[in-house]
Structure 1
Amino acid sequence: MKCKTAHVLAGCLACLGTIGTAIIPNSNMSLHAEEVAAATDSVSTLVEKLQSDDDDTRWKAARELGRLGARSADAVPALVAAIQDPDTAVRHHAAIALGRIGVNEEKIVEALIAAVGDTDSGVRIAAVNSIRQLVDDPEVIVPMTVQVMEKAHPLFASRMVETIVMRGEKALPFLNAALKNEKAAYWACLAIEELGPVAAPTTPALIQLVNSTPDTDTKVQALLAIAKIGPAAKDAQGEVLKALESSDPSIVTAAAFASGAVGFDAATPKLESTVSSDEPLLSLVSRWALAKLHPEDSELKQAAVDQLVASLGNDDPSIRLAAAKGLQSLKVDPEVLGPRLIAKLNDSDPVVAHNLVEALASLGEPVAKKAGENLSKVENQELAVAVLQELGPKAKPAIPNVVEALGSAEGEFRRDLQTVCGQVGPDAAAAASELARSLGSDEESTRISALFALGSIGPQANAAMADVESFMESASDPFEKLLAAWAISKLAPTDEMQIAKIVPVLVEGLTFPDQRVQAEAIMTLESLGSAASSAADALTTLANDPSAQPELRSLAKSAAEAVSAN
């Protein structure tokens, strides 16, 4: 059941900490009879439009129903159904509308809880905000969450965890409530583990859970959550030391990890014993914990590094994963450790490989060149480029290798290399010609990736200007045309002739259905200043549009002032 229902609870953990005052349907509403009649007619028409085959018609109908607020109460069933619409914009506006309408019914909240597991982050955030408007008590929503969990699909778990991390400390009231529910506690611990130190206020509830739960998996997860909170969870020492005496190796291993992560020196005698355990994972974690507790002891540290690196070759993926994670937290000379880790780059387990990538990236710029050299090795190139992506701007030493690899790279590998160029920025100017070549690709994602990279490199990639300009003029897709205009604004920020060409394209972007794209168009126009003065009227219109989102209106107002300045 736990794996099957992970995604819904994890996302709801994000909701409850942000919940404010409940909205009562039709509260503070005083409508004249004719207004009510008009609203009713409008609602019935909009509900019909929600059934349209046209995506634009449906999302605009959902948006208008949300703007009508409580007057759209009759549309609630249709909006609940629309939360599962195949179009992202429809789901997004349906989630917003349900919060604004304010009908607080269990089936509505359950639908919004399920939407917190949506594939789109915008829909997830809208669902969280609407739950916040409808419910104000964590103790009420935890049982509802559990009910939805029973029907949930585990593939949404990562999205839910991502959502709760986005809410940060605002999720803590719900986490505390969830830790008290036997069906919710396990997943609450998972969320706390992701939040880390910010979840320190949940320590008392975690201590109680470690003491009271009869479930081994939940106890282990609670200990891991304490470990991820770190030194701020120092009050848990008694429970962690007690767990070290357990007869269950999994509990002892989790307690050993917590001892090293939080800093319980009193665990040293027990760890010196468990380091010789026949259980490989317990031995490995104990060795790591001793090195963490006694950083001044070079022998302990070297012994830990040697065992961790050796464990990267273990047949058990969980051992390799623990080793990769452990190496990230020990401060080791990158010149020494880097080559040893690079040699393990082709791990077959994706989770182990991901953590190995993070371990390498944590060593910083010294490993960039080595990772770059591995781009030419087919068996290593996928993880090598992942290391460079994780390094971000610190991947600069690998740019010559990246440019060389771009010469023959295709598909996802090419896009990943282009991402590296964009992250490095101006120092990746040598890749300009290869990036320009990508604009002729048959793959939309490759073209988009190249435009992002060229814009991120900026004026240093000006050699690609003619190609980008030609692409913008011929592009049939409005988003690609807009993105090309953005890239030109970065390649030639002071070229008045180029700016004159891109302003009309950016103005068109102000009406794009995706608010994130609208925001980018606004900010790009603002960055151009008075050179984009011809956009002033369009920006002012958007700033004064009562139907636009407040954030967009504020951005548009600021941009209108910037382009109108002398």
Structure 2
Amino acid sequence: MDLEALYDVPAWEWPEGTKEKLLALVQNRAAPREDRDMAAELLSDVSVMDDGVAEALLNIAADPDEDPSLRGPAAVALGSALEYADVEGFDDPEEAPITETTFQKIQQKFYELYHDPRTPTEVRRSVLEGSVRAPQEWHRDAVASAYASKDSDWKLTAVFAMRWIEGFDREILEALQSRDPDILYQAVCAAGAWGISEAAPVLENILGADEIDEDLLFAAIEAVATVMPERAPDVLEPFRHMDDPDIVDAVEEALAMAKGILSLEDDGNGAGR
């Protein structure tokens, strides 16, 4: 099984039996850790997630005998299913990737792992990153504590988490000034998630730079739609005619989103920031 090739194929187009092979691989302690790590990431796709996959990933994340460098990715892999269930609910069991029972079990175990001093630091960080995608009451204090840490890894986790946990506008704006490219990227994503209008100058500076990291470019394009929807056509115009079709597609999606936001505001339904 060519794991690298699977990243380029939508999960619903995988050959028959691929999910089962990935599930067997991620649970095989004799397999190379890198392969198990990749299997966990591939299994995070909600189109192949189910209670069985979720249970296997949770067991790995919670197992003190597993390598922490695998426990972390297993915890993060559960984030997409948690977010889907949190947003869509469980009214249509056929559509939900996991049952409500499994959802509650994951969140309870993540709470326990995060607050257990015996849990390795890198696993605690990953547990927080996975669990915030379905916000819980304990997350606010956890994110605030992580951001206050002098450890850059914890600060990075905190800014990542701020995409889902509201009330951190000041910290996000502060993180937008970071010289750490990873923190800056997460701050741009968070600013876009909450439509923080004060982030507009930073986005314009990023988009006006002579050289832009590709991931940061796409994050900034997407963020423009919510941060400054009324100015999106002008700000993004230089990117509409580039040779890269992915960039052009990202711009068109952002412009469509901006138009939708402005339409809601005109109807008196926009929240505004």
TM-score by length of 1: 0.31
C-alpha distance in structure 1 between counterparts of 2:183 and 2:72, whole Å: 25
C-alpha distance in structure 2 between counterparts of 1:346 and 1:395, whole Å: 28
Match of 1:402 in 2: 143
Q: CA deviation at 1:445?
A: 2.8
| Residues 448 and 483, structure 1, Cα contact 8 Å, conserved in 2 | yes
Q: 1:317 to 1:489 in 2, by over 3 A?
A: same
The answer for unaligned runs of 5 or more in structure 2 is 37-50, 83-101, 263-273
1:507 aligns with 2:237: yes
Q: Between Structure 1 and Structure 2, how many residues are aligned?
A: 213
Q: Does the residue aligned with 2:149 lie in a helix, a strand or coil?
A: coil
Q: CA deviation at 1:451?
A: 0.7
Match of 2:88 in 1: none
C-alpha distance in structure 1 between counterparts of 2:9 and 2:224, whole Å: 37
Q: CA deviation at 1:441?
A: 1.4
More helix, by proportion: 1
| Residues 204 and 235, structure 2, Cα contact 8 Å, conserved in 1 | no
| Residues 415 and 449, structure 1, Cα contact 8 Å, conserved in 2 | yes
Q: State the identity as a percent.
A: 11
| Residues 60 and 74, structure 2, Cα contact 8 Å, conserved in 1 | no
Match of 2:203 in 1: 472
C-alpha distance in structure 1 between counterparts of 2:175 and 2:249, whole Å: 26
| Residues 345 and 353, structure 1, Cα contact 8 Å, conserved in 2 | no
| Residues 345 and 383, structure 1, Cα contact 8 Å, conserved in 2 | no
Q: CA deviation at 1:430?
A: 2.2
1:385 aligns with 2:128: no
Aligned pair partner of 1:487 in 210, 223, 239: 223
Q: 1:388 to 1:408 in 2, by over 3 A?
A: closer
| Residues 372 and 399, structure 1, Cα contact 8 Å, conserved in 2 | no
Q: Map 1:108-123 to 2 at 5 A.
A: none
C-alpha distance in structure 2 between counterparts of 1:318 and 1:353, whole Å: 18
Name which one, 1 or 2, has greater alpha-carbon Rg. 1
Match of 1:524 in 2: 254
C-alpha distance in structure 2 between counterparts of 1:528 and 1:318, whole Å: 50
Q: CA deviation at 1:389?
A: 3.2
Match of 2:70 in 1: 351
TM-score by length of 2: 0.57
Q: CA deviation at 1:525?
A: 1.3
What is the one-letter code of the residue matched to 2:258?
A: L
What is the one-letter code of the residue matched to 1:471?
A: V
Q: Does the residue aligned with 1:393 lie in a helix, a strand or coil?
A: coil
Q: 1:358 to 1:350 in 2, by over 3 A?
A: same
What is the one-letter code of the residue matched to 2:201?
A: S
Match of 1:447 in 2: 184
C-alpha distance in structure 2 between counterparts of 1:364 and 1:406, whole Å: 24
What is the one-letter code of the residue matched to 1:158?
A: L
The answer for unaligned runs of 5 or more in structure 1 is 1-9, 11-156, 172-191, 197-223, 229-253, 255-284, 286-315, 322-327, 333-337, 494-498, 533-566
What is the one-letter code of the residue matched to 1:514?
A: D
Q: Deviations over 1:201-253 (max 9, x none)?
A: xxxxxxxxxxxxxxxxxxxxxxx69xx7xxxxxxxxxxxxxxxxxxxxxxxxx
The RMSD of aligned alpha carbons is 4.5
What is the one-letter code of the residue matched to 1:381?
A: T
Match of 1:537 in 2: none
1:416 aligns with 2:191: no
Q: CA deviation at 1:401?
A: 0.5
C-alpha distance in structure 1 between counterparts of 2:186 and 2:124, whole Å: 19
Bigger RCO of structures 1 and 2 (CA < 8 A, at least 6 apart):
2
What is the one-letter code of the residue matched to 2:69?
A: P
Q: 1:331 to 1:438 in 2, by over 3 A?
A: closer
Q: Does the residue aligned with 1:396 lie in a helix, a strand or coil?
A: coil
1:433 aligns with 2:175: no
Q: Does the residue aligned with 1:370 lie in a helix, a strand or coil?
A: helix
